[in-house]
Amino acid sequence: MNISIINSPFMVFRRYMFYLTSQKWDREKIESYQDEQLIKIVQHSAKNVPYYRSLFKEIGFDPDTFRGRVDMHRIPLLDKETLRTRQDEFIAENAQEYGINWDSTSGSTGTPLNLIMDNSTKAYKLAGVIRSYQWAGYSLGKKTFSIQSYTFKNSDSISKHYRFFNLWRFDAKKLKKDSALEVIQMINDIKPKIFIGYPFSIFMLTQFAKEEGLSINPFDSIVTAGETLSERRRELLEAAYGCKVFDFFSLHENVSIITECEHQTRHIFEDFAYNEIVDEYGKDASEQGIGELVGTGFYNYAMPLIRYKIGDTVVLDNENHTCKCGRKFKIVKEITGRQNDYLETPDGRFIGNVLEHSVDKANGVMLSQCVQDAVDHIYVNIIADETFNDDSIKAFEKGLRQRLGDEIKFDFKVVSQLERNKSGKTPFIISKIGHEYL
């Protein structure tokens, strides 16, 4: 979602036209397309991707006998740890042919990961993003305001206007009280119709507006991304902005997009990736209807990921309801797993999941976690591997400084276990100071 506006509009347009057709497919057509794409990517991986070549040999898997969805269980699940430690082996030897765009991420686990998104995937993803915004009421040229984590060429600027798309982008990392008032002013002047961004940032604006007795110009719709949209937060946002809020889910690994249609029903983009759910033993959990989301992307030939364990828990609609929108894509009732805490900086900014990118360049960090115990103090818990050293800490600290500023003190601790929050999870951010905004 948070991808740069690319320079090959034709590639995007073609895929967008495809998506307009494929969203009308019946189940039979969806499933035969999935089988076709799975066979292609599995056979390509067997031939050109070192990791899969040796894995398939090791387990005695013959790609020529692979028939698609029914045979997926023959390929082992891929976990984040394996991808992180063996990233290079996932790059196809002929990756160059497909175009190499590096994309760094640390996801919600605080683990650095360098991924390649090839040209075709980039175009499919952007076309998919456009289709999903359209489900939420967007059309090309409609004034759009987006608040997410951006890096602008001029590092001092807090926002940027893209005239062609009628799009304004604001860097969520720079959200604090005075810049929030500036954003509210901008929104009231520009009067955008669509608001896209982190639910936390969008919510913060309403809090600042309330404190100052300001009103925010109404939107037609809001699309939230980057963290789980809880029903409570959806209700708060819908009440504050007087419009519908749509949830958008995707990830850098490009193995799943789940997004809401006009009727606020979450649909799996089954024409972008093949998604399964598994139980804690890795067995198919589709009958139970709840399990961990697993994804296989169809288009990323430069760095294919097959049966990748995403980490989020998904509840499927197992009663086979058909959505009023008429689309036959599978329905997801709930996605849980990306509910983030936030930190507060001494200069009054609130930093949520944008902090995750701080760890992108820290080698040897397997898992990490930032715990704030005072307004000017954070300690960082790190689970390290053997490549971890002083430079890893320096890179991590630099990443944190860029986002949190110079006034805050850090302590880095190598630990064997991360801390758990009240709900028993080990999130990247834990705040032990006040929470007036959650």
The residue among 22 and 340 lying less far from Zn ion, judged by its C-beta, is 22
Residues in 265-294 that interact with Zn ion by CB under 5 A = 265
Q: How far is the CB of 327 from Zn ion (least distance, A)?
A: 5
H helix and E strand count, the chain: 9, 20
Q: Does position 77 bind Zn ion by CB under 5 A?
A: no
**Both tokens assigned to 166:** 């009628």
Residues in the interface with Zn ion (CB under 5 A) total 4
CB of 275 to Zn ion, least distance (A): 16
Strand-pairing partners, residue 438, are none
HSE at residue 415, side-chain half, CA atoms within 13 A, is 14
Which range, of 2-10, 253-261, 298-306, 332-340, touches Zn ion by CB under 5 A?
Answer: 253-261
Q: How far, in Å, are 99, 368, 391, 392, 432 from residue 382 at the CA level?
A: 34, 4, 14, 11, 18
User: Nearest distance from residue 206's CB to Zn ion, in Å?
Assistant: 28
Point out which span in 198-206, 300-308, 319-327, 419-427 binds Zn ion (CB under 5 A): 319-327
Written as six digits, the tokens of 332 are 């997801």
Contact between 259 and Zn ion by CB under 5 A: the answer reads no
- Please give the single-letter amino acid code of residue 276: E
Task: Restricting to residues 158-187, name those near Zn ion by CB under 5 A.
Answer: none
The answer to whether 118 and 303 are in contact (CB under 8 A) is: yes
Minimum distance, C-beta of residue 329 to Zn ion, in the bound complex (Å): 8
d(CA 172, CA 180) in angstroms, rounded, equals 10
DSSP 87: G
Per rule CB under 5 A, is residue 333 in the interface with Zn ion?
no
Closest approach of Zn ion to the CB of residue 289, in Å = 18
> Residue 323 interacts with Zn ion (CB under 5 A)?
yes
Out of 30, 42, 255, 261, the only residue in the binding site for Zn ion (CB under 5 A) is 261
Query: According to the binding rule CB under 5 A, does residue 3 interact with Zn ion?
Result: no
First CA to last CA distance, the chain: 25
Which of these segments, 168-176, 202-210, 248-256, 259-267, binds Zn ion (CB under 5 A)?
259-267
Nearer to Zn ion (CB atom), residue 117 or residue 261? 261
> Is residue 368 within the footprint of Zn ion (CB under 5 A)?
no
Q: What is the DSSP string of 247-290?
A: EEEE-TT-S-EEEE-TTS-EEE-TTTEEEEEE-TTS-B-TTTTE
Q: Which is nearer to Zn ion, 105 or 265 (CB)?
A: 265
Q: By CB under 5 A, tell whether 6 contacts Zn ion.
A: no
**Closest approach of Cβ 20 to Zn ion, in Å?**
15
SS3 content of the chain, % helix, strand, coil (to 5): 35, 25, 40
Regarding beta strands 266-268 and 331-336, do their DSSP bridges make them parallel or antiparallel, or are they unpaired?
antiparallel
> Nearest distance from residue 297's CB to Zn ion, in Å?
22
- Cβ contact 183:160 at 8 Å: no
- Residue 325 binds to Zn ion (criterion: CB under 5 A): yes
315 lies in the site for Zn ion, by CB under 5 A: no
Q: Which chain residues interact with Zn ion by CB under 5 A? A: 261, 265, 323, 325
